[in-house]
Amino acid sequence: MYAMRLFLTTLLTLLSFLTVAAQENDAGYVDVVHLYARNARVGSVITYEYGKRVILLDEDGRMSEFSWDQVKRVNFRLDKSRVSRAQILAGSRSEEQPVTALPQDVVAPPDRRFWHQVDAGFSMGVSLNDRFGSRTTIGGGVSYHYVRELGRLRAGLGADLGLMSYLRQENVVAGTGLVEWPLGRGLKKMRTFVRFQGGITFPFGGLNSDDEVSARRLTPLYHPSFGLEFGPPAGGWGTLVIDVGYRFLNSRFDLTTATLDVVQRSIVYRRLVIRGGYRF
């Protein structure tokens, strides 16, 4: 009986020591899932199926599943905040064992599922005007979209501001939505995608003429494109996007002439658009 009690006491003591050691060893580390052309995600990997998928549970209890073609690599790293909490719990040990700082070039990505995307571009094409006929026009524009990731699909809402013709000072503002789908697995930090942007436009500004714009009308916008997405350097976050597409837009308004005649005008824009943007 004495030998049995001694054995049980020794076993319980050993298990307690191993449990405490494991907790202390894991206290300062988190799993990191590095993704192609996206920020790394931090949490605890609960499922790792090679060639199929990775499932991550973050500190807020949210579960994210990534298909294998999205995953670049999976590893773990030191989390300063967790080490600090562990040292506070440990008491006097915090002065004896200083916290190991992260490398200076490592930027922690924001823990969120949405992105801000800002684009600017140059456009050139043909405008068909019932008054001036066909003309080649040069313009440009900027846009902002709030983008969320829905699996591999990206979808967003935002606004688009376009200069359709710098000669005639024709401008449009649009409320737009976009849908983006990546193509293939990508090569290292570069990935191709297709994007469709659509919305409702409203013309504004002058027409560089003596006629007065007395009424403006809402018209649809369509903009399919093909592009490249470049992932961040090691330790960084945010992605650079470049796309080439074709924009279809009709701008409609009423003009009041000097003789007080009201004339309805419609300008049909068909133009090639080259854009660059940053998603952060």
Least confident of 13-17, 66-70, 216-220: 13-17
The beta strand positions in 36-132, using DSSP E, are 41-49, 53-57, 63-67, 71-78, 114-129
Same domain, 86 and 119: no
The predicted structure's pLDDT at residue 240 = 92
Q: Among 114, 54, 51, 151, which residue's Cα sits nearest to residue 43? A: 54
Q: How far apart are the first and last CA of the chain?
A: 67
Each residue's pLDDT tens digit, 206-257: 666 666 777 888 999 999 999 999 877 765 678 899 999 999 988 887 777 7
Same domain, 136 and 180: yes
Q: What is the mean pLDDT of residues 183-187?
A: 66
Q: What is the mean pLDDT of residues 21-32?
A: 58
Same domain, 44 and 133: no
Domain boundary among 96, 126, 148: 96
The predicted structure's pLDDT at residue 22 = 43
CATH number of residue 88's parent domain: 2.30.30.100
Contact 280, 115 (CB under 8 A): yes
What's the domain range around 247?
A: 114-279
Contact 52, 66 (CB under 8 A): no
- For residue 104, pLDDT beyond 60: no
**180, exposed or middle or buried, with CB in 10 Å at 0-12, 13-18, 19+?**
buried
Each residue's pLDDT tens digit, 141-182: 999 999 998 888 899 999 999 887 766 667 889 999 999 998
What is the tally of structural domains in the chain?
A: 2
- For residue 186, pLDDT beyond 80: no
CATH number of residue 119's parent domain: 2.40.160.20
Phi, psi of 151 (to 5 degrees): 70, -130
Same domain, 83 and 124: no
- Cα maximum dimension of the chain: 116
- Sign of the alpha-carbon torsion through 201, 202, 206, 207: positive
- Within a domain: residue 184? yes
Looking at the chain, the whole-number percentage of residues with pLDDT higher than 90 is 25
Q: Which long-range contacts (CB under 8 A, 24 or more apart) does 121-125 make?
A: 121/273, 121/274, 121/275, 121/276, 122/273, 122/274, 122/275, 123/162, 123/164, 123/247, 123/271, 123/272, 123/273, 123/274, 124/271, 124/272, 125/247, 125/269, 125/270, 125/271, 125/272
Alpha helices (H) along 71-227: 80-90, 93-96
Q: How far apart are CA 6 and CA 62, in angstroms?
A: 45
